[in-house]
Amino acid sequence: MQSFFIELFNRSSVIKPNCDALMSTFLQIETATPVCSATLSKNGEIVYNKEDFTGQSHAVKLGVFVEETMQHVRREGLHVDAVVVSSGPGSYTGLRIGVSEAKGLSYGLGAPLIAIPTPLIMAHMLKDEVEEDALLCPMIDARRMEVYATFFDTSLNVVRPTAADIVTENGYSDLLENHRVVFFGNGADKCKTMITHPNARFLPDVYPLASAMTALAEKAFTEKDFVDTAYFEPFYLKEFVATVPKNKVLSNI
C-alpha cells in the first residue's frame, strides 16, 4: 500500500557531461527493496515515472521500465545527462539488478554514473515531514532479526553511520534518551513491538523510490560526484550467503 509519504514523492554519442543540474535530464533507478522503480527527470521535474510494489520481480520489471523510459526519451528528443542508481544497502539481488542495468545504460548512453546511498534517499523523502529536532532512521530489512539502520538529522547529516543491527528490546536506547526518533522502511516493522521507548515513532509504508532521487542527483551532478562505471559495486554491507533448500539437504542424507 502506498502511503502519504510515498505519494510525496537511440543510443547517444559520448560527450563531456553538462554539469548544470538545472538544465539536465537524469534516468534514475531504485531496486534496493521489494519496490522497483525507474524515473526520468528533466530540469528538476519528474517527466516519466514507473513503479511496481508487488514484490521481488525486479529482473522482469526493471528492463521493461527502462525500455519504456527510453522510448519516452526518444519521442521527446531528450539527451540523458546522467544515470542515477540507488547504491544500497538492501536486497543483494535487487541491488545487483539495478546497478547492472545502470552501468549498462551509462556505457551505452555515454553518460556519467551517479550512486546515491539508499538510506539517504529514504531520509530525504521525510526530512520535511517530521519535527526539526527529530532524528530520522531509515531501516531496510536485512533478513532474520537484522536491519540496516542509519541515523540522520533533518539536515541529512549522518548522526550514526549505516550498520547491520540485531533488533533488541533496548536497541538504540542511547539515541532515544535524548532524541525523538522516527523509524521507517521495510525493516522498521521488526522493531515496532520491541522498541517501546516513548521517543520512538514508527511510520509505515515508506520505501525508497527513484522519483525521490532527483534533488540528490542534481547536487551530485553539480559537484561532479560520479562513480567509475567500470568498477562501481553496490554497498552490500554484508556478504551474500546462499542457502540450500531443505529438500536438497534431505535428498543427500
pLDDT tens digit sequence for 172-211? 999 999 999 999 999 998 899 999 999 999 999 999 999 9
Beta strands 135-141; 181-184: pairing state = parallel
CATH architecture group of domain 120-203: 2-Layer Sandwich (3.30)
> What is the fold of 16-118+208-222?
Nucleotidyltransferase; domain 5 (3.30.420)
> Could you read off the pLDDT of 34-78 as tens digits, one per residue?
999 999 999 999 999 999 999 878 999 999 999 999 999 999 999
Alpha-carbon distance values, 136 to 113, 177, 181, 235 (Å): 27, 15, 6, 20
Burial of 151 (0-12, 13-18, 19+ CB in 10 A): buried
Identical fold for domains 16-118+208-222 and 120-203, yes or no, is: yes
